[in-house]
Amino acid sequence: MTLTVHLPDDLERRLRECAARDGRAPEEYVVLLIERDAAGQGGGRPVESAGLSPGRAASLSDSEFEALLDELAVGPGLPPLPADFSRADLYADHD
């Protein structure tokens, strides 16, 4: 399926920034987001829609909080760490 999407300039800029942070082309990043959403992994609900905003106390039920944590756990598509990665690798430049 081919889709044509017209994005406002600010949304296009944010899309390009997110794709670059994830090491992907914008088109590839959009496909990844659609695949996640179709698989029910979500991970894209804005914090504000969850009843949260920076610097203010949240009014979430326990189940809403658990659902938000589940969304955060999905996170961005980061590459896995090498099998031999250890805590010592984090502190290689320390004594």
CA distance 13 to 41: 24
First-to-last C-alpha distance (Å) of the chain = 55
Per-residue pLDDT for 6 more than 60? Answer: yes
Q: What confidence score (pLDDT) does residue 94 get?
A: 77
Query: pLDDT (tens digit, 9 = 90+) per residue, 28-64?
Result: 988 888 888 777 655 555 555 555 555 555 566 778 7
CA distance 64 to 55: 19
Phi, psi at 69, each rounded to 5° = -65, -40
Q: What confidence score (pLDDT) does residue 46 get?
A: 53
The pLDDT confidence band at residue 90, using thresholds 50, 70 and 90, is confident
Q: Are 53 and 60 in contact (CB under 8 A)?
A: no
Query: pLDDT (tens digit, 9 = 90+) per residue, 9-34?
Result: 988 988 898 888 888 899 998 888 88
Write down the residue that tokens 């991970």 correspond to. 43
